[in-house]
Every structure is written in structure tokens, then in C-alpha cells.
């Protein structure tokens, strides 16, 4: 299998203070093409410049993690094929969370691959209705609905062709936000790979959220849970949050361990928690 070189420029600086999705929906990077590449072992990047989508493959079978926005689905399919895979190799599609920028392309990818969709119970409704769930500071996002074939259990490990992916529910950003984990050999030793679900506020209302009243406590639980995870390699669904494309450039320049950073997940959690505390305090002052 060839390793393709990314032509991306240096990734954007890490930021957890994301704008509301209404503003972000116009982000051209979400549908900007970038060359696919192998990250480590059997894990590949097949997303766009601004949206992380990952292929985990073994023995001519593959799991696709997220599918980008609806408009990016053709680009993702092209990237998968450019790496030498067939769309029919994909047997399972999994999702970090049911927002249009990460779930919008699932319906097309499911049709074109014949794969089954696995999702958390917390996000099943949103996926099957094609709409964001919870009170936000932006208009409700919509995307093509998709049937969920298998409802995951917290801590469930799915196995396919030698690939093992474990789901940990980390709600807050959405009700069913799911962090995924696997192991790879990179370089010359076993590494823990974590695909964290977003911990950003992302336009969510934290105080007085009528449609999702437990959102703040869910965030706090997920901060603690994610911080406790052991991650040698962190692969985020917005690549700039873990410098994914910049790390690929460093790997191409000869740095064998460019993706290895055991402290990165902790830094992401710390930054996200600070932004959460600041926003919640701001909303509580408004309620007084």
C-alpha cells in the first residue's frame, strides 16, 4: 500500500474556543481537498483540509470513522480509492458525534459502500432525524438522515478483519459523543491511538439547556474520563486541534515519531476545560 504525501500547509494553531456552527458552516476548509496519507500501521487519513476522517483497515476490510459534511463525501470516497482501497472494503461506519460537519456524509458513504452504521444511543435520534439535538446559539443544523444498524454499548469493542476499536461515551458536545481507541505499531512498538470526540463548547448552551438539561455535568464527566485515557497518538475530528496535517508534514520530512505525543490529549482537555469554565461562568452571570 502506497503512502501518499499530504500537500497541506502547516495546520492551524490549536484552539478550543470554536465559533458557533452557524458561522463555521461556511468554513471552506471543510470541503477543501487534501491528499490522503498513512498515519501509522493500518490507520489512514482520508478527510479534507478541515475535517478529520479516518480509515482503519486490515485484511481487505475497513472501518470508517466519521464522514465529513455532505458536500465532502465525494472527496472522501476519492481519497479512500486513492490509497488503493475499494469502497466495498468498508464494512462499518462509526461516528464521533452527530453534527453536520462529521455526520453529514454518512448517508452517502453508507449507500456507496454498503457498510453498516454503528452509533451510540445518545446520538441515534440525531443521526436518524438528520438534525442537531440540544439548545445552541446557532440555528439547528441539518444533514441527510441515516439509519443506525447497530446501537453501541459504552465500552464496547468492535472487531473487523483484525481491527479492534473500543467506544467510550464522552457526552457533552452532543448527547452521544463517542471517543474511539485502538492500538497500532508505530514505530516498532505498540502505541495507543485515541480519536477523541470533541470537548469544545461549539455553540452549546451550558446553563438552562432545556433540550439537554444535563449537558454541563456530562461535559465535566467527559473531561475527567478523557484526561484519564492513555494516548500516544491523538487524532481529532478537526485536524488542527491535534496538528494532524502538520505532523504529517514532519513525518514526510523524516521524523519517524511525528505523531507520537503522550501529553497531547491532556493539553487538549486542559484547554477545553478552561474554555468550558469561562463560558459557564459567563452564562451564569447572565442568568442572575
Q: Collapsing DSSP states into helix, strand and coil, what is residue 109?
A: helix
What is the Cα–Cα distance from 70 to 163, expressed in whole angstroms? 27
Find all residues with CB under 8 Å of 206, minimum gap 6, and list them.
Answer: 215, 216, 219, 276, 279, 280, 283
Chain centroid offset of residue 108 CA = 18
Q: What is the pLDDT of residues 152-178, one digit of tens each?
A: 999 999 999 999 999 999 999 999 999
What is the Cα–Cα distance from 57 to 192, expressed in whole angstroms? 16
Q: What is the pLDDT of residue 199?
A: 98
In this predicted model, which residue has the larger pLDDT, 206 or 8?
Answer: 206
In this predicted model, which residue has the larger pLDDT, 121 or 286?
Answer: 121
> Contact, 172 vs 136, CB < 8 A?
no
Mean pLDDT of 21-40: 81
What is the Cα–Cα distance from 64 to 186, expressed in whole angstroms? 20
Give the confidence band of 8 by pLDDT, cuts at 50, 70, 90. very low
Position 12 pLDDT exceeds 50: no
Cell of 189: 512498538
> Contact, 48 vs 76, CB < 8 A?
yes
Give the confidence band of 68 by pLDDT, cuts at 50, 70, 90. very high
Considering the domain 21-287 in this protein, what is its CATH number? 3.60.15.10
Q: What is the pLDDT of residue 14?
A: 29
Position 125 pLDDT exceeds 60: yes
Q: What is the pLDDT of residue 26?
A: 60
Q: What is the pLDDT of residues 182-217, one digit of tens each?
A: 999 988 899 999 999 999 999 999 999 999 999 999
Give this prediction's pTM: 0.91
Taking alpha carbons only, the member of 64, 44, 47 closest to residue 160 is 64
Domain segments of the chain as ranges: 21-287
Mean pLDDT of 88-113: 98
HSE value, Cβ hemisphere, 13 Å, CA-based, for 64: 35
Give the confidence band of 117 by pLDDT, cuts at 50, 70, 90. very high
With pLDDT > 70 as the criterion, what percentage of the chain qualifies?
91
Position 288 pLDDT exceeds 50: yes
Mean pLDDT of all residues in the chain? 91
Amino acid at each position: 500500500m502506497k503512502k501518499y504525501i499530504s500537500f497541506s500547509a502547516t495546520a492551524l494553531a490549536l484552539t478550543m474556543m470554536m465559533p458557533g456552527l452557524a458561522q463555521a458552516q461556511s468554513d471552506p476548509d471543510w470541503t477543501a481537498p487534501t491528499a490522503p496519507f498513512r498515519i501509522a500501521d493500518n490507520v489512514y487519513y482520508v478527510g479534507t483540509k478541515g475535517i478529520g476522517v479516518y480509515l482503519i483497515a486490515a485484511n481487505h476490510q475497513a472501518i470508517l470513522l466519521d464522514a465529513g459534511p455532505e458536500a465532502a463525501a465525494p472527496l472522501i470516497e476519492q481519497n479512500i480509492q486513492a490509497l488503493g482501497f475499494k469502497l466495498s472494503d468498508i464494512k462499518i461506519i462509526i461516528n464521533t458525534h452527530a453534527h453536520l460537519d462529521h455526520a453529514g456524509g454518512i448517508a452517502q458513504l453508507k449507500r456507496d459502500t454498503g457498510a453498516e452504521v454503528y452509533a451510540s444511543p445518545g446520538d441515534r435520534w440525531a443521526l436518524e432525524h438528520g438534525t442537531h439535538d440540544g439548545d445552541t446559539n446557532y440555528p439547528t443544523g441539518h444533514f441527510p438522515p441515516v439509519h443506525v444498524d447497530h446501537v453501541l454499548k459504552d465500552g464496547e469493542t468492535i472487531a473487523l478483519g483484525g481491527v479492534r476499536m473500543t467506544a467510550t461515551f464522552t457526552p457533552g458536545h452532543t448527547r452521544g459523543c463517542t471517543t474511539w481507541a485502538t492500538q497500532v505499531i508505530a514505530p516498532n512498538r505498540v502505541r495507543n491511538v485515541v480519536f477523541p470526540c470533541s470537548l469544545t463548547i461549539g455553540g452549546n448552551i451550558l446553563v438552562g439547556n432545556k433540550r439537554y438539561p444535563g449537558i454541563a455535568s456530562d461535559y465535566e464527566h467527559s473531561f475527567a474520563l478523557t484526561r484519564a485515557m492513555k494516548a500516544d497518538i491523538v487524532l481529532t475530528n478537526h485536524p488542527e486541534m491535534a496538528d494532524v496535517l502538520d505532523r504529517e508534514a514532519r513525518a514526510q520530512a523524516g521524523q519517524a515519531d511525528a505523531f507520537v505525543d503522550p501529553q497531547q490529549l491532556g493539553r487538549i482537555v486542559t484547554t477545553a476545560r478552561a474554555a468550558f469554565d469561562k463560558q459557564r461562568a459567563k452564562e451564569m452571570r447572565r442568568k442572575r
